[in-house]
Structure 1
Amino acid sequence: MTLPQLISTFLNWQDRSLAPRPRRTIIWEGLYRHTKGPIDWDRIFEILELSNKGDSLERYLSRRTKTHGYVPRPRERRGIEWGDKDLALNAYSVHHLHLIPANLSGKRSGDSNALLFVAASRDAMTLVMVGNHSSFDDGTLFEAVTEFRAASEFWIRGILPEREPPNARDSAKLIRHGMMVTGTYQGKVVPTVLLSSMGTSVRHTMHADRVVTTLEGWEPILDDPARSEAAFKQKGWIPKEAVWRWHFHYGDLCLTESKTGRTGLILPWDR
């Protein structure tokens, strides 16, 4: 792999976990329109309490999050290999959380089909819809994300919708084949799905490109002691013959000086 490909593959795996940060809760008003049936607020509030405090939500994520990272597609198979990808995350940029937490063995008691779909940023978690595992393909998640993005002013200006746009279920089927698909809400054309032909997230690819550009810009600075000293606000802490190390914290690109252990956030990830 090239370096951008490697970083994009890593982000495709790592972004399936939510970095434990304190996030305020936003309940999108469309949640009630797109949720079929009663909402189990007791279980949801348990999730929100952890999120607000910045605790880990790992137990509410799929147990496959860590074990199914990068799975190469066998040569004899055609099409997209979804075993290494999270469709909801890559296509819609939303995480799905189980309402029932997993135990230490990764198992959940009772009915674990109910899912909470959320849009997470670095400081907020927005509740988009409560659904289940059928929501990926039955069109309900497609419809919810289309309206959510339109409400967030993420729609294409100057483009009129089709007279007879495809229904949401058919649009959801196209996603399985790696298609970028637009949706329509109140006459607005919405880029509901931002997906590459390989099933990977365009946002991951863009961040990988930004990481490579950042590395290219910083490496000459780190090779020059005078320039590296000037690059940091705190002066006098860089040791002679500094040893620099790049690494990721979730999707954040960080730089550490190994002798002192000091670490700085160089390029933050969206979440």
Structure 2
Amino acid sequence: MDQITAESPRIKKFKKDLVDSIPRFPNNKATLQALEQMRLVDLLITFLGWRVRLVGQRPRRVTRAQALRHDPRAQALAPNIEAFLNSVTAGEDLTPYLSLSARSEGFTIPDKNHPKGLWADKDFLLNAMGFHHFHLGLTLEPGGHCKRTNEVLFALVRRDEFEIIGLFTHDAFERNVQGKMTSERRRLWSTFERRLAEGVLPGQMYIGGMAGMGISGSGIPIAVVETAFHYIRQIKWYEENLRNFEFAKTLYSEGNIPAKSKFKWGIDHLDLVLLDEGAGQLVRIAKGLN
């Protein structure tokens, strides 16, 4: 159920587009071949596992702003935070506020000897907690990113909601020389656990991680894995039915049906879509995580 046994030209093109989209490091023949040799489901998991580090461009309502109310650092950065949250509610591109690695470190071949181990191409705090973090600089650097700030804003980003978790320094990502959590990292974990326990009954079991589904042994959020398998099932069903042009015609807008269907698979941020660029048609098959 999780695999497409006979790959159509449309599937082969989709796999190539996914491979070309994922930032590889190092960008060499070995990383390229590793992606090219993946099954479609594994390639989707890899793509979505990277892409979820970015944020879909759409307006969102800001919630839990009170989390910043009594933080003196938030008061000192008030103009920066206001400008950033205005971008959030206006639906502007938030990529410049994200860490640089979110854009450049999409896939590397797993290597236990790497300094970061199997987490080299993953955002540990995002996968473990479901929280994105954003820099708050007011000016754009030549590379297209906002000026880096030591303070970063952690938030739980849904498709239509931006829930503020709090303001933390970069020490939240670090351990001290003894290998123990820094005080800022402990504060972040404490905030995460406190939020996770909200509304939970005594003795009730709950799981952290993205969408509250935990993470797999490979470090990929279960939510990402489940999304990839759902997309595979959708692709399989549509591939079988797209052979019938009478079915394909039902996907086009009225009065905009071409003589021949030329749909191709694509990912619009995290959403699975079918596109016919010649007919100017996009069909959103399934929605992603943010």
Shorter-normalised TM range: 0.7 to 0.9
CA shift for structure 1 position 13: 1.3
Give the share of equivalent positions with the same residue, in percent: 24
* 2:189 corresponds to: 142
* 2:124 corresponds to: 87
Aligned residue runs from structure 1 range 73-222, under 5 A: 73-74=110-111, 76=113, 80-100=117-137, 102-105=140-143, 112-136=149-173, 137=181, 138-151=185-198, 153=199, 155=200, 160=203, 189-193=205-209, 194-222=214-242
Q: Which secondary structure state, in structure 2, belongs to the residue aligned with residue 38 of structure 1? A: helix
Residues 77-121 of structure 1 deviation map (CA, whole Å, 9 limit, x = unaligned) = 598422211112111111000122551236765x72111001111
Q: Which secondary structure state, in structure 1, belongs to the residue aligned with residue 45 of structure 2? A: helix
RMSD: 2.6
Task: Give yes or no for contact 1:242–1:259 (8 Å, CA) kept in 2.
Answer: no
* Structure 1: 5+ residue stretches without partners: 161-187
How far apart are the structure 1 equivalents of 2:189 and 2:234? 34
Residues 202-222 of structure 1 deviation map (CA, whole Å, 9 limit, x = unaligned) = 111111111101101111221
How far apart are the structure 2 equivalents of 1:47 and 1:75? 38
Normalising to structure 1: TM-score of the pair? 0.78
Aligned residue runs from structure 1 range 43-58, under 5 A: 43-58=80-95
* 2:19 corresponds to: none
Normalising to structure 2: TM-score of the pair? 0.73
* 1:170 corresponds to: none
* Structure 2: 5+ residue stretches without partners: 1-37, 174-180
Task: Give yes or no for contact 1:23–1:123 (8 Å, CA) kept in 2.
Answer: yes
Q: Please point out which of 240, 243, 261 is paired with 1:242.
A: 261
* 1:253 corresponds to: 272
Letter in 1 for 2:236: E
Letter in 2 for 1:242: S
How far apart are the structure 2 equivalents of 1:11 and 1:96? 18
How far apart are the structure 2 equivalents of 1:98 and 1:79? 22
How far apart are the structure 2 equivalents of 1:87 and 1:262? 37
Q: Which secondary structure state, in structure 1, belongs to the residue aligned with residue 102 of structure 2? A: coil
* 1:173 corresponds to: none
